[in-house]
Structure 1
Amino acid sequence: MASAAGYVGGLLRLVLTGFACHNAYDIRMSAIRTYGLVIHEFDPWFNMRATQYLADNGPKAFFTWFDYRSWYPLGRPVGTTIYPGMQLASVAIWRVLNELIGYEMSLNDVCVYVPVWFGVAATLLLGALTYE
């Protein structure tokens, strides 16, 4: 009897984790379904431009980049004032998809889908963190 309860408990955990991942995916996909593969608002546009700069010029140029187009007319030392995790992850995913796997995807599309993918990954990691 204990093994049946363990099986049901494990199955319930799996179903609930799948449901949570589906909801995380579905919530993040709602804007993409409504408006398409576009980047919304100002901050994401800046992050997309920073990601494009990183992809085009490499990390050394990125971390010493002074952007005269943001915070006009003063400019901004982007490399020393940005949290680069999203840009580095997006460029890495884009390169893996395009160069290693051979799946052609634009950098814009990768940047649009990164919140979806990371939302599901965060849900899985939170589930693993709370697993008893």
Structure 2
Amino acid sequence: MQRPLKPCNEPGCPTLTREGYCEQHKRDKPAYDQYRKSAARRGYDSIWRKARQGYLSKHPFCVSCMKEGRRVPATVVDHIKPHKGDKKLFWDSSNWQSQCASCHSRKTAKEDGGFGNRTSNLRM
């Protein structure tokens, strides 16, 4: 079964495609992950996973959903201000918030230029 055709993710491009970008714009886009370090190299190792689990046990609901009056279990510990490799900011728990995967994906895409948004720098 093939995916349905959808407009290209390039703003203003009407070309229909089954992937994110049409052939013309796919070539213009360097793969985001091509420049990104692995999760472990960015600090998301076993020590982080233990800290993350402890934080989620104390803050079990998505802060974004709670602002909208919904109690949705959090599955992600988000860095409110992106740490961009700064270990002090990475481990500063006052810079953490609990989020559900959906809210975290939306926030990250907005910050990193995903979902057709533009960004001036890549998050490493």
Query: What TM-score, normalized to structure 1?
Result: 0.28
Which has the higher Rg, Structure 1 or Structure 2?
1
Greater relative CO, 1 or 2 (CA 8 Å, sep 6+): 1
**Higher strand fraction: Structure 1 or Structure 2?**
2
- Relative to total residues, which structure has the larger helix share, 1 or 2? 1
